[in-house]
A and B are shown apart, each in its own frame.
Chain A
Amino acid sequence: MSNGPLIAYTKVGKTFANGGVVAVDDVSLDVAEGEFLAIVGGSGSGKTTLLRLANRLIEADRGSVTVEGEDVRNVDPIGLRRRIGYVFQSGGLFPHLSVGANIGITPKLLGWPAAEIAARVDELLELVQLDGGQYRERLPSELSGGQRQRVGVARALAARPRIVLMDEPFGALDPLTRDALGDDFRELHRRLKLTTIMITHDMTEALLLADRVAVMHEGRLLAQGTPGELSESNDPYVEKLLHTPRRQAERLGKLLPRDGAA
């Protein structure tokens, strides 16, 4: 399976019992090792459901999901989640635990020795550019939004996962913080040779960060590909999503001329 995709969705479907809403409908999607995939869609598009099918926070009704070549149905969900990093919307940090305890939670669940966890926490704080001495013992409520999300990323990376799932990780942040955090994570992704799936409703963010972009709408996968491939799509919804970044880029290019700009 060395050449196969690290995560593969094959004709996956999910219908929620309450109201019979078809959240994901016949979706097939491969994510290669080392790839950064962004899933873009509005609320109710099924993008979050699709993400959570990968670590069995949600179980598929139809089709199959494989992670590292194994059908997730045959894998213990607890073990699966411990080896896949997950970054939650606005952090999802446990408010009663310190920054250090939040970051070290998965290693603790895995039974790492305390000293090893402490060392790993320091390493991760450095990795997400937070000063350990200053932040390790703080509670999440004492952090800014951007700092909280950095801790969220550190927590996801704590048990050295190969795969990281991110659920609108930068959505609630101010534009500057968001930009800086996006770039920093992209760098981590490269350096740690991660395979990342990030969901976002922001096409601009998706285009700027990801290798490939998948577009979800009403439970269906409308298009997937590199930004270049996506721009060739003649799906009207995809065109609509691309319209905003295109127009913004044009207008910004005119408004902010700079020597040497392309």
Chain B
Amino acid sequence: MNLFSDPRWSEALAHLPDYLGNHVRVSLAALALGLIVSLPLAILARNRPVLRGALLGFASIVQTVPGLALLALFYPLLLVLAALTLSWFGFDFSAFGFLPAVLALALYSMLPVLRNTITGLSGVDPALTEAAQGVGMTERQSLFMVELPLALPVMMAGIRTAAVWVIGTATLSTPIGQTSLGNYIFAGLQTQNWVFVVFGCLAAAALALAVDQLLALIENGLRHRSRLRAALGGVGIAALVAATLVPAMARSASSYVVGAKTFTEQYVLAALIAQRLNADGLSATTRAGLGSSVIFDALKAGDIDVYVDYSGTLWANQFHHTDIRPREELLADLKSILAKQDITLLGDLGFANAYALIMPKQRAEALGIHTIADLAALAPSLSIAGDYEFFSRPEWAGIKQAYGLSFRTQRQMQPDFMYAAVASGEVDVIAGYTSDGLIAKYDLMVLGDPKHAIPPYDAVMLLAPKRKDDTKLRAALQPLLGRIDIATMREANLRAAGNDGSSSPDAVARWLWEKIGKK
């Protein structure tokens, strides 16, 4: 079979104008901002050792912050700023997506530009700056006519390094809501769609190389005083920007944006919602791979219009409640709290994605275990595994306290491996997720929670404040409410975890609609 006959290639290609366009815009805006700030600073610092030391030190420290963390830091920072400008000046701005990405990437681009500009300028032969003075140049003329032209090759090397770094790092701006080529990589990693991962990497590398070569052409032209070459490079960059702007302008501004967090189920549900909207003649795009804390604020700010969250997550993470309520009560409470923020809780989808203690069905039956209460007596001789955060979450403390659980050992594992580990007997019990498709695949069993120690995590659809009276949107989403039962969602998740052409979120979402739409 031809490697490229896999339908995922053409699906990836279909996203390219959107992802590449956004990637180019955010990268070049960041690079331009970085240059506008760095070049004058470097020129200012060239004869001031203290300022130079401080600048290079600052830029080096910024460089040591992992790119993802730097991007993530700008989001809350801008949220606070936006809140301040709203209360002081009566306007706010979106702290989501483009702005934090541009600021963080611009900061990231500063080190090579600063360092190379300072190095380039201080590398100019002092005899030549003396000569510049001697022939009657002012300090400014000496800078522009002699020092900068002579430092240009070293400066351009720095600018090219910065460009490559920024284009590479921009792939990490997906979780803060900036669409980029990183969308391929994040989605691909989550849904084990290696075609997407490879496609995203290749596209980012090709873009970096193209921009690097265009900058090289400009440099070459400037160095050899060839207007033609410099102009060709400039035209190339301009064409790149223009080409990415065209599809963006063609897209209608009124299109709906569907958000998704960073795991498989969310990708599938976002694809399903977008398909439903499109089927009703409403144009929709998805913004997938958003961080769990980013996505709610993005909805509140209207940067996305609709997404699926989980009642327990909203209750604990957004509203910081620690008490556990029965699910109906929790949903009702959430609905009224959210309504105060103008956010509509449209309804639940019919399944919950909660934490649960899970064992192989055969083993549980052999041991006579049906619920967590049954487990308590045997726990001291058993081992348990959970994901990286589970054992520090309030749910675990609640379960332990309610049932008096104490295991022989507890281990942390990558979620994907947990299910295989418990199926093979490497651990006895895992703290997994109720909607995970692997439960069915490995014939596992979710233990009951008679004391209701685990908060409910019903999947609920949320609408942005600006969409609260949007009847068309509500009508399009209505058929999804209460229709997806846990078994169906597990099967959908299992399909999406596969690694073939029918495992893309879009394909699984179509399968899911086939299944629930006929009910």
A residues apposed to B, CB below 8 Å = 55, 57, 78-79, 81-82, 86, 88-90, 92-96, 105-106, 109-110, 155
| Among A78, A89, A93, A96, contact of B136 (Cβ-Cβ < 8 Å) | A78
Is there contact, CB below 8 Å, between A57 and B127?
Answer: no
- Give the top 3 A-B pairs by smallest Cβ distance, nearest first: A82-B136, A92-B131, A86-B134
Q: List 27 A-B contacts (CB under 8 A).
A: A57-B130, A57-B133, A78-B136, A78-B137, A78-B138, A79-B136, A81-B134, A86-B134, A88-B127, A88-B130, A88-B134, A90-B127, A92-B127, A92-B128, A93-B131, A94-B132, A94-B146, A95-B128, A95-B150, A96-B146, A105-B137, A106-B136, A109-B135, A109-B136, A109-B137, A109-B141, A110-B136
List the A side residues contacting B145 at CB < 8 Å: 94, 105
The majority secondary structure among interface residues of chain B is helix
List the B side residues contacting A96 at CB < 8 Å: 146, 149-150, 223
List the A side residues contacting B146 at CB < 8 Å: 94, 96
Residue on B with the closest CB to A94?
Answer: B146
Residue on A with the closest CB to B152?
Answer: A96
Is there contact, CB below 8 Å, between A92 and B136?
Answer: no
A116 to chain B minimum Cβ distance, whole angstroms, is: 17
List the B side residues contacting A88 at CB < 8 Å: 127, 130-131, 134
B150 to chain A minimum Cβ distance, whole angstroms, is: 6
Name B136-157 residues within 8 Å CB distance of A: 136-138, 141, 145-146, 149-150
Is there contact, CB below 8 Å, between B137 and A94?
Answer: no
| Among B134, B141, B149, contact of A57 (Cβ-Cβ < 8 Å) | B134
List the B side residues contacting A78 at CB < 8 Å: 136-138
Is there contact, CB below 8 Å, between B127 and A106?
Answer: no
Q: How far is the CA of A109 from the CA of B133 in the complex (A)?
A: 12
Q: How far is the CA of A88 from the CA of B136 in the complex (A)?
A: 13
Q: How far is the CA of A151 from the CA of B271 in the complex (A)?
A: 72
A103 to chain B minimum Cβ distance, whole angstroms, is: 10
Q: How far is the CA of A99 from the CA of B132 in the complex (A)?
A: 15
List the B side residues contacting A93 at CB < 8 Å: 131
B71 to chain A minimum Cβ distance, whole angstroms, is: 39
Residue on B with the closest CB to A155?
Answer: B135
List the A side residues contacting B223 at CB < 8 Å: 96
Q: A95-B150, A96-B149 are in contact. Are A89 and B127 (CB under 8 A)?
A: yes
Q: How far is the CA of A92 from the CA of B223 in the complex (A)?
A: 19
Is there contact, CB below 8 Å, between A105 and B127?
Answer: no
Interface string of B262-285 (1 = CB under 8 A from A): 000000000000000000000000
List the B side residues contacting A79 at CB < 8 Å: 136
Name B314-362 residues within 8 Å CB distance of A: none
Name B206-233 residues within 8 Å CB distance of A: 223
Is there contact, CB below 8 Å, between A55 and B134?
Answer: yes
Is there contact, CB below 8 Å, between A106 and B133?
Answer: no
B141 to chain A minimum Cβ distance, whole angstroms, is: 7
Q: How far is the CA of A96 from the CA of B127 in the complex (A)?
A: 14
Is there contact, CB below 8 Å, between A92 and B134?
Answer: yes
List the A side residues contacting B136 at CB < 8 Å: 78-79, 81-82, 106, 109-110
Q: A57-B130, A88-B130, A89-B127 are in contact. Are A81 and B135 (CB under 8 A)?
A: yes
List the B side residues contacting A92 at CB < 8 Å: 127-128, 130-131, 134
| Among B128, B135, B149, contact of A106 (Cβ-Cβ < 8 Å) | B135
List the B side residues contacting A105 at CB < 8 Å: 135, 137, 145
Q: How far is the CA of A95 from the CA of B130 in the complex (A)?
A: 14
Q: A92-B127, A92-B128 are in contact. Are A86 and B150 (CB under 8 A)?
A: no
Q: How far is the CA of A16 from the CA of B247 in the complex (A)?
A: 64
Q: How far is the CA of A95 from the CA of B150 in the complex (A)?
A: 8
List the A side residues contacting B134 at CB < 8 Å: 55, 57, 81, 86, 88, 92
List the B side residues contacting A89 at CB < 8 Å: 127
Name B443-478 residues within 8 Å CB distance of A: none
A145 to chain B minimum Cβ distance, whole angstroms, is: 15
Q: How far is the CA of A110 from the CA of B136 in the complex (A)?
A: 9
Residue on B with the closest CB to A91?
Answer: B131
Q: How far is the CA of A155 from the CA of B149 in the complex (A)?
A: 20
Apart from A78-B137, A94-B150, A106-B135, list 19 A-B contacts with CB within 8 A. Answer: A57-B133, A78-B136, A82-B135, A86-B134, A88-B130, A89-B127, A92-B130, A92-B131, A92-B134, A94-B128, A94-B131, A95-B128, A96-B146, A96-B150, A105-B135, A105-B145, A109-B135, A109-B137, A110-B136
